[in-house]
Amino acid sequence: MAIKKLGITEFLLQSGGFPIFDVRSPGEFNHAHMPGVNSLPLFNDEERKIVGTAYKQQGKQKAIKLGLDFFGVKMRAMVEAVEATLKTFEGPKEKIFVHCWRGGMRSAGVAWMLDLYGYDVYTLVGGYKAYRNHVLATFEKHYDIRILGGYTGSGKTLLLEQLKKQGESMIDLEALAKHKGSAFGALGQPAQPTPEMFENMLAVELEKNTQNTFWLEDESQRIGILNIPHAFWKNMRTKPVFFVDIPFEERLDYICQEYGRHPKDSMISSILRIQKRLGPLETKTAIGLLVEDNVKECFRILLAYYDKTYQKSLENRENISSLLNKISCSGVDTVSNTEKLLACVSSFA
């Protein structure tokens, strides 16, 4: 069987549901990769460095010979790794898709080996670099978005989940970012992905919703250490905001339940991250209350700060008067508030 070379659009279209193997080094893969692909490194990180240095200093042929030294002893193990992956792969296995960094010698070598073994192999012209260009282009498009707004403690993540249960499309940016969006957003969360990996995952979600109207939570551009791609974030800021307006005390109770269980030292570290904006007196008072186990009054100070921050963000948005739709809610009641949201959307349409 001949190896088929595909451009990025056809590669993504035809590879859907089939196994994809990324033959870049572990370091490259761990930094970022196409979501859902399998790592099948031709070289480890040190071998890649050796081959790359030889290519620059001694030319292509010397680099190829060195690469063959590394590749030759791995061939059987790589074929068996593919076989093992296919045994556990849930989906069609008639085709195998392979890519490297630029669609060059690494993917060509592995594709040759797998083709020789009898697999129907497809490679990506331009490699992962072509995929990254595709990802960045995704953020330049315009989407039909509804923004879910509300002050901190409004239970917006729960609302997104309930909207999804009721058949609405949504993308949970904070779930992708592994962060809840404030100075306290890392509490109880795993490590955040790299910026590049976050973009890759977001692009996949956007492509799923190209034809849909979908919901996003109103976010600042920065989520922890990550930034929402600027072009996409600017697009978000032009969309209608459906703002669940819940009384302060109700939100305070909800926040105490959500964050009050975290260790004090972690909470104090989070407070110190915003001390310049919170102010020295409020910072000292909030930490003192926390040390005294007066969590509610500590959080009262913090919630008031975040309310002011969010209000300022709203006011800085262009045409906010025509975009903002406030929905009065008596408490953090996910089912009831979702019904009110959808009723507001119906009247808005």
Residue in this structure with the two tokens 């609405």, named with its chain if needed: 168
87, 118, 135 - which closes a domain:
135
Asked whether residue 77 falls in the same domain as residue 110, the answer is yes
Say yes or no: 248 and 297 in one domain. Answer: yes
162 and 230 both lie in a single domain: yes
What would the pLDDT profile of 238-287 be if each residue is shown by its tens digit? Answer: 999 999 999 999 999 999 998 888 899 999 999 999 999 999 999 999 99
CA 288 to chain centre: 36
pTM recorded for the entire structure: 0.93
Distances (CA, A) of 332 to 178, 191, 250, 299: 23, 28, 7, 17
Q: Who's near 259: CB < 8 A, 6+ residues apart?
A: 184, 187, 267, 299
Residue-averaged pLDDT of the chain: 94
Q: CA–CA separation, 337 vs 150, rounded Å?
A: 12
Q: Which of 103, 135, 167 is where one domain is finished? A: 135
Sequence-distant (6+) residues with CB within 8 A of 300 are 252
The answer to whether residue 1 scores a pLDDT higher than 80 is: no
Q: Stretch 311-338: mean pLDDT, rounded?
A: 92
Average pLDDT over residues 76-99: 94
Closest CA to 244 of 328, 164, 162: 328
Residue 123 near residue 108, CB atoms below 8 Å: yes
Q: What is the CATH number of the domain that holds 92?
A: 3.40.250.10
Domain count, the chain: 2
Residues ≥6 apart with Cβ < 8 Å to 189 = 178, 179, 180
Residue 173, pLDDT score? 97
Per-residue confidence (pLDDT) for residue 293, from 0 to 100? 92
With cut-offs at 50, 70 and 90, classify the pLDDT of residue 100. Answer: very high
Residue 112 — very low, low, confident or very high, per pLDDT cuts 50/70/90?
Answer: very high
Q: Is the pLDDT of residue 348 over 80?
A: no
Q: How far is CA 324 from the centre of its chain?
A: 26
Phi, psi at residue 227, to the nearest 5°?
-120, 135
pLDDT band at 349 (very low <50, low <70, confident <90, very high): low
Do 125 and 42 lie in a common domain?
yes
pLDDT, average across residues 307-334:
92
Average pLDDT value for residue range 129-137: 98
3-state secondary structure 149-168: ECCCCCCHHHHHHHHHHCCC
CA distance 329 to 247: 8
Q: Does pLDDT of 23 surpass 90? A: yes
Q: Are residues 123 and 152 both part of a single domain? A: no
Range of the domain at 41: 4-135
What CA–CA distance (Å, rounded) separates 246 from 330?
6
pLDDT recorded at residue 103: 83
Is residue 67 domain-shared with residue 158, that is, in the same domain?
Answer: no
* Last residue in a domain, options 135, 163, 184: 135
Examine the pLDDT at 129 and tell me if it is beyond 70. Answer: yes
Q: Which residues are catalytic?
A: 100
- 43 and 189 share one domain: no
Examine the pLDDT at 212 and tell me if it is beyond 90.
no
Residues 155, 280: one domain?
A: yes
Burial class (CB in 10 A: 0-12, 13-18, 19+), 189: middle
Q: What is the CATH number of the domain that holds 344?
A: 3.40.50
Q: Which helix (H) or strand (E) holds 233?
A: helix 230-236
Q: Are residues 177 and 204 in the same domain?
A: yes
Shared domain for 222 and 128, answered yes or no, is: no
Structure tokens at 162: 């309930």
Q: Do 296 and 184 belong together in one domain?
A: yes
pLDDT at 194 over 80: yes
Mean pLDDT (whole number) for 140-150 = 95
| 170 and 317, same domain (yes or no) | yes
pLDDT of 337 higher than 70: yes
**Amino acid (1-letter code) at residue 91:** G
